[in-house]
Structure 1
Amino acid sequence: MSDARDRTARIAALRPAYRADLAAGTDRFFAPGRTTCPWCASARLTPRLHTGDLLQHKPGRFTLDRCTDCGHVFQNPPLTPEGLEFYYRDFYDGLGEQRMSGTFGGRTAMYRGRAEAMLPHDPAPKTWLDVGTGHGHFCETARTVLPDTSFDGLDFTDGVELAARAGRVAHAHRGAFPDLAPKLAARYDVVSMFHYLEHSTDPDRELRAAHGAVRPGGHLLIEVPDPESRYARLLGRWWLPWLQPQHLHFMPVANLRRRLGELGFTVVAEQHAEAHDPVDLLAAVWLALDHAAPREDAPWFPGPPGPLRRALRTALLLSGVPALLAATALDRFAVRPLSHRLGVSNAYRLVARRD
């Protein structure tokens, strides 16, 4: 009860600032739309998806376009710096910090699998930089696989500093990777980017920064959502990896392999089933239920919900429990073993050696 009262008080304290942000609408959060593909410069673009913010329910409508020449999918129009700040605020930090820390902290098996992906290529790296590390939970788990490796973390939020204070990373680098990369030149045996590139406003700049930070002969480990997954088509806007408005770029694997080669990397491993996170059906059911239910309290809404709306939300979510349980079973036991064969793996992983 005390946690609930504390959260209610924090929401009430934040509401005036959000009200001021939204007083003039959301137009200032969007830059002018692009007429060419940011990956290959083709002008052959077609709308791929129209959706809202299905997780925080902040106001705004978002469009993903697809390049018909190279298959790159990207947010268009893109967010301005003010828009990025607005839509990220209280998701990973602030109001959302405790929830997201708990979510990421409970994914030990996934983190072990990511670290183990490096073993065939470098079984004992001395130094590893995890870019977009958040609160450093991957690094903490990866040390159980690679106990002699020193893990550093990089992020633009204060989560990386919390990770250093908690001992999850040896050194915390806070800021934008391309800006920090010159100071990190050829320092690391491994640089990892797990579900980071899709958040970047300029993925190519991030890849060039990674090339500079990896020593010659070292490795870059990348994991991103797979826009060619069949689930992306079958589930539409309920496919969790679309994650609008935070995910800005979706790269087909052939595009990313080609760009890595141009930068001076050799791809030594490509994984799909191993990178798959079996949550697609569960997430789709939850997103649909959450979208249909009355909103819970948040500072970007005009005011808190009354008792009737709270009761209706609780009743609807409880009625959806059987569907959530069925979706979980299908995700984990029916689809997961066949994810790559069925073409529904929601992510792919590349290991690339710097030549």
Structure 2
Amino acid sequence: MSDEHEPEPQPEAQPGPSRAEQVAALRPAYQADLARGLDRFFEPERTTCPWCGSSQLKTRLRTTDLLQHKPGRFTLDRCQDCRHTFQNPRLSGEGLEFYYRDFYDGLGEKQLSNTFAGRTQMYRQRAESLLPFASAPKNWLDVGTGHGHFCESARTVYPGTAFDGLDFTDGAELAERAGRVERGFRGSFVELAPEVAGNYDVVSMFHYLEHSTEPGLELEAAHQAIRPGGHLLIEVPDPDSRYARLLGRWWLPWLQPQHLHFVPVANLRRRLTDLGFTVVAEQHAEPHDPVDLLAATWLALDAVAPRDDFPWQPERPNAFRRTLRGAMVLAGVPALVLGTLLDRFAVRPLSHRLGVSNAYRLLARRD
């Protein structure tokens, strides 16, 4: 009997390298970077506020990298006049590359992608906040889109809207290939804005401005990209949250060294008005993410437990340290569970009334 119609055997998929193998492969490059010192990762310290120009600055926080545990110490200063909080000294271009490397892509891509993919309800809620003001936008640009998971969820709210995404990393390109966005732009929004001037009904920036080196220029770019009558939707950490003071360096939204600017809501409202926007909605309770106590507990526990294996460490932790870390994390589970319960059921319903909302959202119309 002829077997000419039988399917040809397919080669078995080869498993990718293990995490330990990935870390070992990355270690030489990281150690070479660190051998050159950390000074080149920072710009000169500022003596004036980048938002209003005042020289009345005061240190608000000193901390370390509590998530990746890359070496370095970071300072946040606050302007005594306009209350803008900013990283000082700020990361340089080399510093941004070093501290972002293997967080959203590379070694950390899978974990972060899974985390973002599981936040469908939050993404829908963000999209629905526009409904009272624009029920059927033609097109929408999501700036800082990551892997495009917001756009994928927002399409269920606005099925007739074309969603594009922009990001500094290759996430936007991955989002386009996955079909989550129509077009995925990789690069700078400030540089892209002249090419797409007046093209969009909506531009969104969800937890993007705090990462920007020049948030004022990003707002100008948004004004350029949005057609008259269109909307700008912004969500950022709220530096006036009481949790920022009560939890100190363990407050997750500080996210050092990635977050460079923390803009009080009054400052952002005034800047938008000056640019030619009208703020039509301000929300505090709705964008609150109920993770503050859980995250603070985890960050504190992770800080005292022996380090996990990372390529920016000179060598892999030995078996004893790995076992000790596992035991300490296991012992901290009851505290993590308690933090989760308090976040979701005790604090969340009262977050705005208690003044602990960790984010705010503004919707502005381009006049």
Which of the two has higher C-alpha Rg?
A: 2
RMSD of Structure 2 on Structure 1 (CA)? 1.0
Q: Structure 2 counterpart of 1:282, which letter?
A: L
More helix by share: 1
Aligned residue for 1:68? 80
Aligned residue for 1:210? 222
CA distance in 2, matches of 1:297, 1:343: 38
Deviation string 1:289-311 (CA, Å, 9 cap, x unpaired) is 00010000000000001110001
Question: Please, which of 278, 294, 313 is the counterpart of residue 301 of structure 1?
Answer: 313
Question: Please, which of 319, 341, 360 is the counterpart of residue 348 of structure 1?
Answer: 360
Segments ≥4 residues shifted beyond 4 Å = 2-5
Asked whether 1:43 is paired with 2:55, we answer: yes
Q: Structure 2 counterpart of 1:276, which letter?
A: H
Aligned residue for 2:137? 125
CA distance in 1, matches of 2:135, 2:242: 34
Aligned residue for 1:318? 330
Q: Structure 1 counterpart of 2:256, which letter?
A: Q
Q: Structure 2 counterpart of 1:299, which letter?
A: P
SS, match of residue 270 in structure 1 = strand
Deviation at 1:24, TM superposition (A): 2.4
Q: Structure 2 counterpart of 1:42, which letter?
A: S
CA distance in 2, matches of 1:67, 1:345: 22
Deviation string 1:15-74 (CA, Å, 9 cap, x unpaired) is 000011000221110110000000000000000000000000000000000001000000
CA 1:104 to 1:3, structure 2 compared with 1: closer, same or farther past 3 Å? farther
Question: Please, which of 278, 292, 295 is the counterpart of residue 280 of structure 1?
Answer: 292
CA distance in 2, matches of 1:247, 1:34: 16
Aligned residue for 2:191? 179
Aligned residue for 1:10? 22
CA distance in 1, matches of 2:81, 2:149: 38
Q: Structure 2 counterpart of 1:93, which letter?
A: D
CA distance in 2, matches of 1:3, 1:59: 32
Unpaired runs of 5+ residues, structure 2, are 1-13
CA distance in 2, matches of 1:292, 1:34: 32
Aligned residue for 1:77? 89
Asked whether 1:29 is paired with 2:34, we answer: no
Aligned residue for 1:57? 69
Asked whether 1:108 is paired with 2:106, we answer: no
SS, match of residue 362 in structure 2 = strand
CA distance in 2, matches of 1:287, 1:140: 30
CA distance in 2, matches of 1:271, 1:214: 22
Question: Please, which of 203, 219, 235 is the counterpart of residue 191 of structure 1?
Answer: 203
CA distance in 1, matches of 2:74, 2:361: 27
Q: Structure 1 counterpart of 2:161, which letter?
A: T
Q: Structure 2 counterpart of 1:123, which letter?
A: S
CA 1:3 to 1:67, structure 2 compared with 1: closer, same or farther past 3 Å? farther
Deviation at 1:153, TM superposition (A): 0.3
SS, match of residue 271 in structure 2 = helix
Aligned-pair identity in percent equals 75
Aligned residue for 1:335? 347
CA distance in 1, matches of 2:36, 2:62: 22
Deviation at 1:4, TM superposition (A): 9.8
Deviation string 1:214-254 (CA, Å, 9 cap, x unpaired) is 10000000000000000000000000000000000000000
Aligned residue for 2:4? none
User: TM-score, length-normalised on structure 1?
Assistant: 0.99
Question: Please, which of 96, 99, 106 is the counterpart of residue 108 of structure 2?
Answer: 96
Question: Please, which of 132, 141, 164 is the counterpart of residue 153 of structure 2?
Answer: 141
SS, match of residue 351 in structure 1 = strand
Deviation at 1:156, TM superposition (A): 1.4
Q: Structure 1 counterpart of 2:233, which letter?
A: L
Asked whether 1:170 is paired with 2:169, we answer: no
Deviation at 1:5, TM superposition (A): 6.1
Deviation at 1:3, TM superposition (A): 7.8
User: TM-score, length-normalised on structure 2?
Assistant: 0.95
Q: Kindly report which structure 2 residues correspond to 1:151-170, keeping only aligned pairs within 5 A, or say none.
A: 151-170=163-182
